[in-house]
Amino acid sequence: MDREAAFEEHFGTRPEGAWAAPGRVNLIGEHTDYNGGLALPIALPQRTYAMAARRADDRLRVMSMQTREVVEIDAAEIAPGRPAGWASYVAGVLWAVRAAGHRVGGLDLLIDGRVPLGAGLSSSAAIECATGAALSGLYGLGLLDTEAGRRQLATICRRAENEIALAPTGGMDQSASLLAQSEHALLLDCRDGSTRQVPFEIERDGLVLLVIDTRAHHALVDGQYGARRASCERAAAALGLPSLREVDPARLDAVLADLVGLLAGDGPEPPEVVVRRVRHVVTEIERVQECAAAMTARDWEGVGRLFAASHASLRDDFEVSCLELDLACSVAQDQGALGARMTGGGFGGSAIALVPEAVAGPVQAAVTEAFAAAGLTAPSIFAAHAAPGAG
């Protein structure tokens, strides 16, 4: 059934419009956002669609074509963890739009998500930003019309995820979904929220960006994410800095040596472990800067080397990779990728590989074969390009 027919069947009324927001894949800059650092995502061609109509009351009715479930709630009843489950991402946006002082009433909303769910490609930001775009369009808020409006909507959607869906994520995903432009990556500075468009036109240089969804979701993910964040905050506090962004990369070795002494004795993990976490964050922020420069110069071998270094740092120093991600990256590299790395928070999700067009097929086949040989669930692999943000 198409979306419009499903909308009419479930809500007994016609939609007033349709909006869409993309998922994203981060090219480099992992676990840097909550450290005030840099990230470099692109918007994916896969989008989440929202069809919606205003209501005369303050009620939200939302249906997802993926869960086949309808959830209803009064706007006034939306609260942390309420509603529970997937609808919190939608309800959270209604709550946060109102909390930002916009006058909006209720709505009927149908969600059709074409971003793979839970693959580290940010279906959560896509559903939030599609909802935000629909609210803005229905109630004439004009938030998609200007860059300032899009920034404001990104903040609103992040609040929805943090405060209502209760996922303590940084703001990269929502910024990418709303601010990205086609054929560009978004250089995002999480210290001040500023952004810069960096050209990412790989096709004209005969390259393909493969996204490898490993289908692995290790249960560790929530607790470990919180633990990594806590280690970073502990290190910044011990160094007397507002965030690890303030560590001077030129003085990294000296700072890490000092840190061992400053941390001695307290905290949940040995100082040597915290030192490795900090080394990842500080070197990763530098790699993002170098990668943006290499992309601008169309130095794709340089970009590939930075991808590989980022993966090694996430695997060895930050310890957020896993068997599936390591396998995908090493096989891709062996088959001629310029570089491959895990992307997203880790412990499963997706990897990316920058590959010459001629080896895209062989890389795909070899990764699939290696997963089968290791007895793993077959990965889902697709070629991505830098697509436009929400509309």
SS3 325: helix
The least CB distance from residue 160 to Mg ion, in Å, is 12
How far apart CA 34 and CA 169 sit, in angstroms, is: 8
Give yes or no for residue 111 binding ligand ADP (CB under 6 A).
Answer: yes
The least CB distance from residue 125 to ligand ADP, in Å, is 6
The least CB distance from residue 126 to ligand ADP, in Å, is 6
Among residues 252, 175, 188, 199, which one has the least CA distance to residue 38?
Answer: 188
> Among residue numbers 152 through 181, which ones bind ligand ADP (CB under 6 A)?
167
* Residue 353 interface partner, choices Mg ion, ligand ADP, none, CB cut-off 5-8 Å depending on type: none
The least CB distance from residue 111 to ligand ADP, in Å, is 5
Query: Per-residue contact track with Mg ion, 123 to 162, x per CB under 5 A?
Result: -x--------------------------------------
Catalytic site residue from 173, 253, 258, 326: 173
| Annotated catalytic residue 173 | yes
How many CA within 13 A on the CB side of residue 359? 18
* Residue 348 interface partner, choices ligand ADP, Mg ion, none, CB cut-off 5-8 Å depending on type: none
Give yes or no for residue 121 binding ligand ADP (CB under 6 A).
Answer: yes
Q: Tally the residues of the chain.
A: 391
Cis-peptide into 83, omega within 30 deg: yes
Q: Give the contacts of 316 (CB within 8 A, at least 6 positions apart).
A: 276
Structure tokens at 291: 């990668």
How far apart CA 321 and CA 237 sit, in angstroms, is: 26
Q: Which is nearer to ligand ADP, 117 or 293 (CB)?
A: 117
How far apart CA 214 and CA 126 sit, in angstroms, is: 20
Give yes or no for residue 6 binding ligand ADP (CB under 6 A).
Answer: no
Centroid of chain to Cα 315: 19
Binding span for ligand ADP by CB under 6 A among 32-40, 117-125, 276-284, 330-338: 117-125
Give yes or no for residue 46 binding ligand ADP (CB under 6 A).
Answer: no
How far apart CA 185 and CA 202 sit, in angstroms, is: 11
Taking CB under 6 A as the criterion, the residue among 48, 243, 313, 321 binding ligand ADP is: 48
Burial 201-239 (b: 16+ CB within 10 A, else e): ebeeeebbbbbbbbbbeeeebeebbeebbebbebbbebb
* Residue 19 interface partner, choices Mg ion, ligand ADP, none, CB cut-off 5-8 Å depending on type: none
Q: Which is nearer to Mg ion, 158 or 184 (CB)?
A: 158
Cα angle: 150, vertex 155, 157; to 5 degrees? 90
Give yes or no for residue 321 binding ligand ADP (CB under 6 A).
Answer: no
Taking CB under 6 A as the criterion, the residue among 54, 82, 105, 118 binding ligand ADP is: 118
Q: How far is CA 352 from CA 201, 210, 214, 239, 306, in A?
A: 16, 6, 10, 34, 12
Give yes or no for residue 371 binding ligand ADP (CB under 6 A).
Answer: no
* Residue 66 interface partner, choices ligand ADP, Mg ion, none, CB cut-off 5-8 Å depending on type: ligand ADP
Q: Which is nearer to ligand ADP, 339 or 348 (CB)?
A: 348
Binding span for ligand ADP by CB under 6 A among 73-81, 93-101, 119-127, 285-293: 119-127
Instruction: Kindly determine how many residues on this chain lie close enough to bind Mg ion according to the rule CB under 5 A.
Output: 2
* Helix ranges, the chain (H): 3-11, 87-99, 123-138, 147-159, 172-179, 221-239, 252-263, 271-296, 300-316, 323-334, 357-373
How far apart CA 350 and CA 366 sit, in angstroms, is: 16
Give yes or no for residue 66 binding ligand ADP (CB under 6 A).
Answer: yes
Q: Give the contacts of 278 (CB within 8 A, at least 6 positions apart).
A: 232, 235, 244, 247, 255, 256, 259
> Nearest to ligand ADP by Cβ — which residue?
113
Q: Which is nearer to ligand ADP, 134 or 263 (CB)?
A: 134
Q: Contact positions toward ligand ADP, by CB under 6 A? A: 48, 64, 66-67, 86, 89, 111, 113, 117-124, 127, 167
By CB under 5 A, name the binding residues for Mg ion: 122, 124
> Which residues carry out catalysis?
173
